[in-house]
Amino acid sequence: MPISQAAKSLAAFYDFLNRVDSDDHNITYDNHAAGPIVCFSYIQQLGIQTIAINLVYTKPPENKWPVCWKTSSFASLWRLWSTCKVRTLTSATDEMNNLNPPGRRQVFATTTIKNDPATLIATHAVYRDAIASLRAANVKGLVWTLFLQPLLPDWVRKGDANPLGLHDVDEPLVLVNFTVNWDKPANDELVQTTTRCAIEEIERVAMENGAGHPYRYLNYFAAWQRPFEGYGEENWKFLREVREKYDEGVCLGGGVGVGLRFR
């Protein structure tokens, strides 16, 4: 959809995550609903900004729109086209994978914020404001993308403690992720620095708004980030003890990449 729908997309995202508990689970937290994931992208080759919204429902609906999505603000957003249909998981995954082709320069970085409208707006502003410097540098093949992805209390509070530091989450959280692709190694430093500055600015604003959170999603973190520290000292200690007790060969420490190193 066009970038003119940015404010409405942010509002729809906030509203859906912030739905209060109700006796009608179709319009609150439906166990078959995944997402929403809202993505804002600047595409250098086309010189445009776009929005993509990913809505998933894991039970074949009787109608095109399940009740939980139909009653949300997403249903009324104006869009250029839609690929909404009943499909296999493989088909849906392939569609998303096509947006992130292999063989290109790439960087990830992430942070976590509370579902606070002012902080969501500020997060999008940080993404948007960074485009000017990237455009001025003419970074060839750049796709500068901001993802907003929910982490709901119902998903992490299942009755058992967990080592992620999320056992006491009682409000919706938002995983903020930059996924950035470009063509030339000559632009590595600029893109990586811009991405890091964007994350740090989002974290600064979130802290000012009382909307920051220490959790960092392991799949999305950058090389300079330390996601295990966000789990809390006791949980981090527990994970290191598990490694020492059960992983003498250091499989989790060095055999499968930096993402699983307990440092």
Domains in the chain: boundaries:
3-231, 233-263
**If phi over 0 gives left and psi between -120 and 50 gives alpha, with beta otherwise, what is residue 226?**
beta
pLDDT confidence of residue 206:
97
Map residue 27 onto helix, strand or coil.
Answer: helix
Strands 48-57 and 33-43: antiparallel
Q: How many CA atoms lie within 13 A of 11 on its CB side?
A: 8
Position 95 scores a pLDDT of 79
- Per-block average pLDDT, block size 10, for the chain (263 residues)? 87 86 56 87 94 87 78 83 80 78 88 97 97 94 95 80 84 94 95 97 97 93 90 87 76 47 42
Q: Is the dihedral of CA 245, 251, 253, 259 positive or negative?
A: negative
* Cβ proximity of 143 and 113 under 8 Å: no
Q: Name every residue whose Cβ is closer than 8 Å to that of residue 175 and which is 6 or more positions away in sequence.
A: 110, 112, 147, 148, 149, 150, 151, 217, 220
Share of the chain above pLDDT 70, in %: 90
pLDDT at 196: 97
Averaged confidence pLDDT in the chain: 85
The region, left, alpha or beta by phi > 0 then psi within -120 to 50, assigned to residue 138 is: left
By the 8 A CB rule, do 38 and 121 touch? Answer: no
What's the pLDDT at 256?
A: 41
| pLDDT for residue 110 | 97
Q: In this predicted model, what pLDDT tens digit does every residue of 147-197 receive, in sequence order? A: 999 998 888 877 777 888 888 888 899 999 999 999 999 999 999 999 999
Please state which of the four CATH numbers 3.40.462, 2.40.50, 3.40.1350, 1.10.3300 is assigned to the domain occupying 3-231.
3.40.462
Tell me which residue of 105, 177, 111, 176 sits closest to 143, measured CA to CA: 105
Q: Count CB neighbours of 226 within 10 A.
A: 10
